[in-house]
Amino acid sequence: MNTPAYRSFQEQGAHYFNRQHIGVPPAPLSLPSAWKGAELQKHPDTWMYELNQTDLEEIQNAVLLVSQDSLALEEVTRDSFPLPTLGKKVEAWRQTIMTGTGVQVVKGLPVGQWSEAEIALAYWGIGHHLGTPGAQNPDNELLGHVKDYDEARDDPFVRLYRTNNNIRYHCDAADIVGLLCLKPAKTGGKSRIVSTVSLFNALYQRHPEWIPRLFEPIKLDRRGELKEGQKPYSFITPCCFDGEQLRTFYHSDYYHSVERHDGIDLTTEEAGILSFYDELGLNPEYYLEMDLQVGDMQFISNHVIAHARTEYIDFDEREKKRHLLRLWLSAN
């Protein structure tokens, strides 16, 4: 029996949060990941790629090969999904994501020409060349379907990606998160990303007295995802610095909603940091906004980028409604 070619939800989370830390940086950081959206927007060639005919033929051939071998999605690995030429480009994208700006957009996957199964195999196979896929919840969901399930927007146990609501800046518990656009919204639903390194640098310049708090545990709401005997919140250290890279886990909604529990309040310092990050993240100078179209794939590092989504209005017709596929990856 083949070993599943993915990490469980627990394994992936443990890998993501296994971040080295040697101490608080003595000054703001000058790193490729410390970009501002207004600057990055001027140089799309550094973070955007359009698939060419040779690339598409390689992907199609790999999908056919996997289908002929009758492999289930969770059995597909990098070796069983060969990309002889494109694979080298994907490796360059991985370096950009993990050691560069932290973002790579790939355009032109012909999802309109493929079946749902072929789309899933292609996306999963490409993902394997970026890292190791992982489950996105305790139920071991491997490919998340990001769409409006008409669930209550104000229910703290509802994950907002299952609604059409705006989603505040956050990071997912995986090295890389990928989104593949199958159908865009009628209006809205734009992706916004911001460099958490740039937010850190700005905070360092304006409120250096708050910086040490980022390297200490802060309460994070579990939103109902807890085992028997656990507290309804956990403790997460937002930032870790290994001497070269600053890695940040930021989750605005979950940091804020911890206050719904009796006796739990954010300190003045914690509230100040969250407000600073949230507000600066809404500054067009800092964020990069994308209107993902059919066949666009967006891959970002959850260590150096926080992502958000604007509210959207959907089509009335069910077959036209906004639908994205989400992939979580461990980089090694």
pLDDT band at 1 (very low <50, low <70, confident <90, very high): very low
65 burial (CB, 10 Å; 0-12 / 13-18 / 19+) is: middle
Which three-class secondary structure state does DSSP give residue 119? helix
Q: In the prediction, which pLDDT does 298 show?
A: 98
Lowest pLDDT segment from 113-122, 222-231, 269-278: 222-231
Percentage of the chain modeled with pLDDT above 70: 96
Q: In the prediction, which pLDDT does 3 show?
A: 46
The CA dihedral of 46, 322, 130, 5, to the nearest 10 degrees, is: 180
The structure tokens listed for 35 are 């970009």
Average pLDDT over residues 188-192: 97
Residue 156 has pLDDT above 70, yes or no: no
- Residue 224 vs residue 253, higher pLDDT: 253
Residue 59 has pLDDT above 70, yes or no: yes
Give 85-88's long-range contacts (Cβ < 8 A, gap of 24+): 85/54, 85/55, 85/58, 86/54, 86/55, 86/58, 86/59, 86/129, 87/129
Cα(199)–Cα(201) distance, integer angstroms? 5
Average pLDDT over residues 161-185: 94
Cα(18)–Cα(263) distance, integer angstroms? 30
pLDDT band at 2 (very low <50, low <70, confident <90, very high): very low
Q: How many helices (H) and strands (E) does the chain have?
A: 8, 17
In angstroms, the Cα distances linking 153 to 98, 174, 253, 259 are 33, 25, 13, 18
- The domains found in the chain, sorted by start residue, are 9-20+32-330 (3.60.130.10)
Average pLDDT over residues 138-143: 89
Q: In the prediction, which pLDDT does 79 show?
A: 94
Q: pLDDT by residue (tens digit) across 77-93?
A: 999 999 999 999 999 99
Which three-class secondary structure state does DSSP give residue 55? helix
What is the pairing mode between strands 167-170 and 48-50?
unpaired
Q: In the prediction, which pLDDT does 226 show?
A: 65
Residue 304 has pLDDT above 60, yes or no: yes
Cα(305)–Cα(103) distance, integer angstroms? 8
Q: In the prediction, which pLDDT does 122 show?
A: 97
Residue 296 has pLDDT above 90, yes or no: yes
pLDDT band at 230 (very low <50, low <70, confident <90, very high): confident
What is the pairing mode between strands 103-107 and 297-301?
antiparallel
Cα(253)–Cα(122) distance, integer angstroms? 32
pTM: 0.95
The structure tokens listed for 191 are 């992706």
